[in-house]
Structure 1
Amino acid sequence: MIPFTDEELMAPVKNAIEKIRPSLALDGGDIKFLTVRNSKVYVQLRGACVGCASSGTTLKYGVERQLKIEIHPEITVINVPIGMENEIDKL
């Protein structure tokens, strides 16, 4: 169990994602932080990442791995498809 509230995770997660964004931008991609709910980080891959065959790998072994290293090893990252931002509770 992650020993932080969702509110406590917001700032460190945002900071970590801002560090990751330049790497994605090198390939024409981007990432947008949406929220943290029940210790799950919801993001939205954008740009060239949308529909890219490597986007799942980028999410798991790039974004999630970095958050696990910087914040807590049990963090999970979930990509929210464009247009589904209001459906996070259903994902």
Structure 2
Amino acid sequence: MTPVTADATNTPLRDKVLAVINLIRPAVQADGGDIELVDIQPDGQVSIRFHGACIGCPSSHMTLQHGIERSLREKVPEVTKVVPVV
């Protein structure tokens, strides 16, 4: 799956976000799921898509807020929010 960004000029931001997602990905994959970077808005909002076991999992909201969003905001200050998309 090839991640897509809203604007080719935020390639460095895209690379930073992908690096953090790639750190998180093995833990998510160990539970049968995966994460896809869908978009990065100019205001720093990151859109991700869950795959596999993450779809419909009651813990996916906690994973998003306490795992993915927290890690992204700590390591990539430009990120303001992380939202899931279907």
TM class by smaller structure: 0.7 to 0.9
- State the match for 2:17 in structure 1: 13
Identical aligned residues as a percent: 36
Q: Deviations over 1:46-76 (max 9, x none)?
A: 1100000011000000100100111118621
- Structure 1 ranges of 4+ moved more than 4 A: none
Count of residues paired in the alignment: 76
Tell me the SS of whatever aligns to 1:41.
strand
Native 8 Å contact 2:73 2:79 kept in 1:
yes
**TM-score, normalised to structure 1's length?**
0.77
Shift in Å at residue 10 of structure 1? 1.1
- State the match for 1:65 in structure 2: 70
1:46 maps onto 2:62 in alignment = no
Change (3 A) 1:71 1:77: same
**TM-score, normalised to structure 2's length?**
0.81
Change (3 A) 1:56 1:14: same
* C-alpha RMSD of matched pairs (Å): 1.5
Q: Deviations over 1:6-48 (max 9, x none)?
A: 7142110011111111010111010001110121001001110
